[in-house]
Amino acid sequence: MTSTSGDQTPLQGRLQDLRRRLGRSTGQLPDPVRRAAREPLVRFLALGGAIFLLHGLMRPPGAAPGGELVVSEARAGALAAAFTRTWQRPPSRSELEALIEDHIRTEVLVREAQALGLDRDDTIIRRRLRQKMEFFADDQTSQGQPSDQELRAFLKAHPERFRIEPQIGFRQIFLDPQRRGEGLAADAQRLLERLNGPEPPADGASLGDPLLLQPTQVTAMPKGEVAGLFGTDFADALVKQARGRWVGPIPSGYGQHLVRVDTLEPGALPPLEQIRQQVEREWRAARSQERQQALYRQLLGKYRVSRPELPGAGPQAP
């Protein structure tokens, strides 16, 4: 139902009164001003100015940029030292001035970005702050030189990190299941009898099928690299074979192989004296992780953490 003038609400009455006053006010302006006020560009600039003014009024207390920015002699010295480490010479006066100007530029832009809240909810910045806190944990506890007893205990607790892999020298002849089909087993048997016979062929690889990019003979290769080429099961089977005799077929991801192990150097755990530097590096990394975890647990105790309930999940982690 349409309202008549007699049914106006108090709000509608106030709006009409405001329109009348604005009309009288606009009518008192000179014609050029009234025409300019109707221009889209003028309205756009007025709106932009209002937004800028509103943003300044809404800036949280203490977040306003500006103020004093001091580049101390110590900071200039640090900039010069960083330049020297990179270029193996001290900076010239003009280069140092450029370094200082770049530092000032960075500081101004960082402060303005912080004032605008651009550092909040940024994944990269949050990750970097986490890294700095973890580095802080390392700085708080100086690491002395580990004793031989500590390194031997660490080596004994983590032998898999330092064990030398078996080194395998072998030859292989590939038999393609798609080419040979059901006759592959019979072909393999005939080839084995010939290869292990009194007059083996000089080039046994020519008796098999082509296998691109894979070697037919290896002088010595770590077991892990063999596994990377032919698969873990193939590498495990090789270290179990007697040396100097063709055996098979042994499966791989490509098909079937006749193999001959020529050399096999078993894996071994070297003594500490041979790998002390590597063990010490791993020991320091482990201690660093322990300190970071201890700092995290200490800081976590300051917070009450509420985790979401996940559908079908077990009890929450502590």
Encode pLDDT of 144-182 as tens digits: 788 888 898 998 889 888 888 888 999 888 888 888 888
Domain for residue 255, yes or no?
yes
Domain for residue 18, yes or no?
no
pLDDT at position 275 = 87
| Whether 154 and 203 share a structural domain | no
CA distances in angstroms from 247 to 186, 271, 311, listed in the order given: 14, 35, 54
Integer Cα distance of 38 and 30 in angstroms: 13
pLDDT at position 84 = 93
pLDDT at position 196 = 85
Q: Closest Cα partner for 104 from 76, 132, 127?
A: 76
pTM for the predicted model, two decimal places: 0.47
pLDDT at position 86 = 92
pLDDT at position 1 = 45
Instruction: Report whether 254 contacts 262 (CB < 8 A).
Output: no
Quote the domain boundaries for residue 87: 73-120
| Whether 192 and 261 share a structural domain | yes
- State the CB neighbour count (10 A cutoff) for residue 223: 20
Domain for residue 229, yes or no?
yes
Residues with pLDDT less than 70, the chain: 1-66, 137-143, 313-318
The strand pair at 256-265 and 246-251 is best described as antiparallel
Domain for residue 136, yes or no?
no
pLDDT at position 5 = 45
| Whether 78 and 209 share a structural domain | no
pLDDT at position 79 = 92
| Whether 209 and 256 share a structural domain | yes
| Whether 155 and 295 share a structural domain | yes
| Whether 206 and 257 share a structural domain | yes
pLDDT at position 63 = 44
pLDDT at position 108 = 86
The rounded mean pLDDT for the chain is 78
Question: How far out from the chain centre does Cα 313 lie?
Answer: 28
| Whether 168 and 152 share a structural domain | no
pLDDT at position 30 = 57
Q: How many domains does the chain have?
A: 3
Domain for residue 102, yes or no?
yes
Domain for residue 204, yes or no?
yes
pLDDT at position 81 = 93
